[in-house]
Amino acid sequence: MNFPGKQLLIILLIVIGNLSGAVLFRDSLSNGLIILTYEDHRLPMVDISFVCRSGAVFDPDGKAGTASLCTDMLLRGTKNLTPDSIAQILDFIGARYGTGTDFDRCFINLRLLSKDLTTGLDILSEIILEPTFPIDEFTRTQEQALSGARRAYDYPSSVVGMEFDRLLFGEHRYSLPPRGDTATIRKITRDDLKNFHKTHFVPNNCFIVFVGAVDHNYIKNEVNRRFGNWQPRPVSNPQPPELTLPEKIRVKLITRKEMNQTYIQFGHPGISIFDKDLIAIRLMSYILGGPPLSSRMGLAVREYGGLAYDVRCWFDRRLLPGAFRATVQTAKPKEAIEKMFAEIRQMHEKGATKSELLKAQNYFTGSFPLSYSSNQGKLDRVTEIELYRFGIDWLEQFPVRVRTTTLEQVNEAAKQHLFPDRYIMVIMGNVTKEELNLPDAEWIE
Amino acid sequence: MLYNILSLFFVFTVPSEVDHRETKGEITAIESRVTEFTLKNGLHVIHYFDSSAPVVSVNVYYRVGSYDEQTGSTGISHMVEHMSFKHTDIYKPGDFDRMLDSVGANNNGFTSTYYTGYYEELAKEHWELALKLEAARMNNCIFPDSEFESEHQVVAEERRLQDNRPTSNLWEQFEAIAFLAHPHRNPTIGWSDDVGKFTVEKVRDWYKKYYNPANAVIVIAGDVPLEEVKSKVEKYYARFKGTPVKRPDFYDIEPALAGERRLVLRKRVNVPTLLIGFPTPGIRDSLYIVGDVVAAILGSGRNSRLYRTLVIDSGFATSVSAWNSVERDPGILEILVTPKAESLIPRIETVILTEIKRMVTEPVSTQELQRVKNQTLATALFDRDDISDIAWLLATSQITAGNWRHFLQQIERIEKTTPEQVLVFCKQYLTEQRRIVGVLLSDKEVK
């Protein structure tokens, strides 16, 4: 058995208790790879997420989609395993697995029966450490990515979202979807994937989360045995977008005569997930445009207005500053827009009420434990905690932070972070400028 | 085959023999956690005890859905579901959400072919609130004229969302040509013209007929003891009058396919879609579950036969998947393909027919069958991770098969499936003449 040595183990070990009696551990190898284990022995199963902290924002210029393609290709062949054998082994043991990429991370998720844990770890280490990016698989995976990117243009909600991002984020990587776009995916080469892997898949830039019937001490030894000799390398930080707040409403109208409904997305520059007002902003946007049946926008547009099935707004929560967005799909765009504008203005000028805040706080604190009652939920929460460095005690701290947020803070957040009538706006449907009646808007051709 | 592959790479741990004792033990343990009882008014209650997290899932399902709807009123069950969130004798519009939000509950409602369901997932100390609100929804909804029109418009907007999604159009119209007589041909949300003609009177009548204890199943899953469930259910529901509803039986209504049916839909799309279906038997047929096995062998994962031939070997397609849609009455085994180009569709159809012929003439390999069995068992265990998933399985099994054990019996049947049964099933149901084909193509005005 190849065991690189205990000296590599355990720089830091933090253990906390939590509400359900299970325990969350955080450890790190000397090469910087972090291991988090949330022990939960209810069922003989394990969920694993391997996360690389570099997401699509690290795509090379003009080659949006590189991170996504690189991550997909990890399952498509390694030094010791063909892509078919990877799938054969994982399918045969009944594992669920998949890869994903967003702006902030690339990840591989694996759900296994406990008895198959070592098989899963063997494959996981092989695909992370020894991928070969075979040429035939690269061509096929690139075609699949292109097909996905083309299909995104078949859906109006996706089109307005992509166009909004283009207009708001300009030259920054945020202007295109994490998976890239048709033009950029075509430019990606196999060497780009190899470079991305070499640069970003390094132990000091990655972490692994385990949830389920596992023992932390066993896990750290097994991870160390497989990843202990992986060499660290310096990693860089991503560049934030340079966002400009529009002076007035700037509208891009996309005419689609065949549509019987108009799709709308509008908004302006927002915040990063590290914003000091994050909790207050989340509470405020929940009150303004959270649940479509009970938020202010939901009540005005859906419940009382009967203008839409779904209406909402939110602030992106990403490592770098993102957008504040509002969306609606309606046969009566003029009326829906007026109501949404009015609710944002009202929130900005007069803020929320005490009872609205209490209701939002109750919802946030009450639903939070539900969000990690299942293993999948625990995996999501622990990943979020580590990725955004919320701190190992976040499961306890989040409800406290929500409860101690004051009405003044929420109302100040509305003043500071909502900018009525200074929107980028994309409208798509069978509607004219005249029908929309936006007299002060600047129309983007 | 698996072990041969593994032996080439000695660094990998060879899985132990296929030993499912522990997994099966956990799946069997589901039975010991379930208790069912029926109130005098006919309300059927299923309790699933799981104290591993301080959470309870309350689910109320009614035996009403698009299956029960007639031409001219398609979508009415869904309209009632929308209206049932609004006004009862004591609760006003918004109260349900306000009260549930205030305790951090997740809640929603949904309408399907065979049922309309409502659920709340919440911390155990608040579970009684969900039961109380659902009791009001069961017996005391009122539908004031003044509240109808705006919700009617909301539903019309929801219907339009379907219209503007090209693949939703394909699904909807594919189902409509796949079934000539069976209500499976109607979309749950209803046809546009029917949706436009709903009246508040229709909503009231539908509610009055179907929402009562004798036509409902309640599943309460999570960290609440049986005694408490019994006493609280009795407290809130025993006083309601139960009126059994005799559901029509359309199981055998669909005429046999007289030949291939084909739909060609042209929309503003950049990527074509091909959908091929074969009618398959419903749950009264002893072979029905073999349809699930066949679908998995054909189109589940990289090692499935169609993924291999269409995506890897020929490169004609970028994705393929397959599943058997049977929930109760006869359904369809569906194969969904994303062709690389529209021009390749005829060749893709030929490849699919060739693979189907193989299924009809050669028994599937032991490894292929074992893969599906292993995946079925693992998935059954994974489903236990979330009590809402278990609650859904219990409720839908009870409604569609009249027996909550139905989903466990399905697992047992898959485990016992033999290559010979697969062969018999394919010979009987996967014939070229029984094919239904739907294609979504570009209207040539695309970006």
Residue B46, token pair as written in the block:
């299923």
Query: What 3-state DSSP class applies to B8?
Result: helix
What number is the average pLDDT over the span A394-416? 97
B94 interaction partners in chain A (CB closer than 8 Å): 293-294, 299, 303
**Which of B303, B370, B371 lies closest to A84 in CB terms?**
B303
The answer to whether A349 touches B175, Cβ cutoff 8 Å, is no
Q: Tell which wins on pLDDT, B18 or A189.
A: A189
Q: What is the dihedral sign for C-alpha A128, A134, A139, A141? A: negative
The C-alpha atoms of residue A330 and residue A179 are separated, in whole angstroms, by 28
Query: Is B247 in contact with B66 (CB distance < 8 Å)?
Result: no
Site of tokens 């199963």? A45
| Beta sheet of A45-52, edge-to-edge order | A13-17, A23-28, A34-39, A206-212, A45-52, A106-113, A96-101
Alpha helices by DSSP H, listed for B141-270, are: 145-163, 166-178, 192-196, 200-210, 226-237
Averaged over B380-402, what is the pLDDT? Answer: 95
> Is the CB of residue B190 less than 8 Å from the CB of residue B265?
no
Q: Which of residues 91-110 of A touch B (CB under 8 A)?
A: 91-96
Q: Kindly report the backbone phi and psi dihedral angles of residue B438, in degrees, each rounded to the nearest multiple of 5, phi listed first.
A: -125, 130
Q: Are B254 and B428 a contacting pair, CB within 8 Å?
A: no
- Encoding tokens for residue A185? 């995916």
**Which pair of tokens denotes residue B294?**
């066949």
Task: Give the pLDDT mean for A3-23.
Answer: 43
- In this prediction, residue B3 carries a pLDDT of 39
Quote the CA–CA distance of B418 and B365 in Å, as a whole number.
10
Q: Give Cα separations from B49 to B28, B33, B54, B219 (angstroms).
A: 14, 5, 11, 11
pLDDT for residue A4: 35
Q: What angle do CA B409, B413, B416 make, to 5 degrees?
A: 140
CB contact under 8 A, B15 and A144: no
A151 touches B: beta carbon within 8 Å = yes
Nearest by Cα to B59 from B389, B405, B403: B389
Q: Residue B12's pLDDT band (boundaries 50, 70, 90)?
A: low
pLDDT 10s digits, B215-230: 999 999 999 999 999 9
**Inter-residue contact B298 to A127 (CB < 8 Å):** no
What is the arithmetic mean of pLDDT over B11-19? 52
- Does residue A420 surpass a pLDDT of 50? yes
Q: Residue B94's closest chain A neighbor by CA? A: A294
Residue A8: per-residue pLDDT: 36
Which positions ≥6 away from A394 have C-beta within 8 Å?
A381, A385
**Which DSSP category does A8 fall into?**
G
Give me the mean pLDDT over the B361-389 stretch.
94
Which residues in chain B have Cβ-Cβ distances shorter than 8 Å to A83? 302
Q: What is the pLDDT of residue B26?
A: 85
- Is residue B220 within 8 Å of B58, Cβ to Cβ? yes
Of the candidates B14, B9, B17, B24, the one whose C-alpha atom is nearest the C-alpha of residue B376 is B24
Contact A294 B19 (CB under 8 A): no
Query: Has the ipTM of the complex gone over 0.90?
Result: yes
- Cα distance between residue A270 and residue B60, in whole Å: 40
Among all residues of chain B, which has the CA nearest to that of A298? B94
Intra-chain end-to-end CA distance of chain B, in Å: 47
Q: What percent of chain A has pLDDT over 70?
A: 95
Pairing of strands B261-267, B216-222: unpaired
Query: What is the pTM (predicted TM-score) of this model?
Result: 0.93
Coil, helix or strand at residue B10: coil
Grade residue B14 by pLDDT with cuts at 50, 70 and 90. very low
- pLDDT tens-digit profile of B95-135? 999 899 999 999 999 999 999 999 999 999 999 999 999 99
Residue type, B299: G
- pLDDT tens digits along A120-165: 999 999 999 999 999 999 999 999 999 999 999 999 999 999 999 9
Residue B17 reports pLDDT greater than 70: no
Q: Which residue of A122, A309, A369 is in closest CB contact with B161?
A: A309
Instruction: Judge: B97–A375 Cβ closer than 8 Å, yes or no.
Output: no
| DSSP character string of B233-285 | HHHHHTTSPP---PPP--TT-SPPP-S-EEEEEEES-SS-EEEEEEEE--TTS
Q: Are B232 and B47 in contact (CB under 8 A)?
A: no
Position B18 confidence tier, pLDDT thresholds 50, 70, 90: low
CA distances from B260 to B136, B353, B434 (A): 49, 13, 6
pLDDT tens readout for residues A197-250: 999 999 999 999 999 999 999 999 999 999 999 999 999 999 899 999 999 999
Distance CA A443, CA A249 (A): 8
CB B340 within 8 A of CB B315: yes
- The label of the residue with tokens 């702006």 reads A103
Q: Quick: pLDDT tens for A268-291.
A: 999 999 999 999 999 999 999 999
pLDDT in tens, B68-94: 999 999 999 999 999 999 999 999 988
Virtual torsion, Cα B26, B28, B34, B36, nearest 10 deg: 170
Tell me which of B4 and A188 has the higher pLDDT.
A188
8 A C-beta contact, residue B328 and residue B400: yes
| 8 Å CB contact between A142 and A31 | no
Q: How far apart are CA A22 and CA A33, in angstroms?
A: 23
State chain A's mean pLDDT as an integer.
94
Q: Which of B267, B303, B384 sits opposite A87 (nearest CB)?
A: B303
- Nearest C-alpha in B relative to A371: B106
pLDDT band at residue A23, thresholds of 50, 70 and 90? Answer: confident
H helices, E strands: number in chain A: 16, 13
pLDDT for the residue A13: 44
Q: What is the pLDDT of residues B237-246, one digit of tens each?
A: 999 999 999 9
> Is there a contact between B234 and B410 (Cβ–Cβ < 8 Å)?
no
Cβ(B260)–Cβ(B432) under 8 Å? yes
- The string of DSSP letters for A84-134 reads HHHHHHHHHTT-EEEEEE-SS-EEEEEEEEGGGHHHHHHHHHHHHH-B---
- Calpha distance A149→B270 (Å, rounded): 10
β B317-324/B55-62 pair status:
unpaired
Chain A residues with CB inside 8 Å of B2's CB?
A: 88-89, 92
Least confident interval from A79-83, A404-408, B4-8, B256-260: B4-8
d(CA A290, CA A314): 7
Contact A223, A121 (CB under 8 A): yes
Dist. CA A177–CA B435, nearest whole Å: 38
**CA–CA min distance B40, chain A (Å):** 34
Question: What confidence score (pLDDT) does residue A9 get?
Answer: 36
CB count within 10 Å of CB B221 equals: 29
Q: Please, what is the Cα angle at A184 between A182 and A187, to 5 degrees?
A: 110
* Residue B20 confidence class, pLDDT cut points 50, 70, 90: confident
Say if residue B7's pLDDT is above 80.
Answer: no
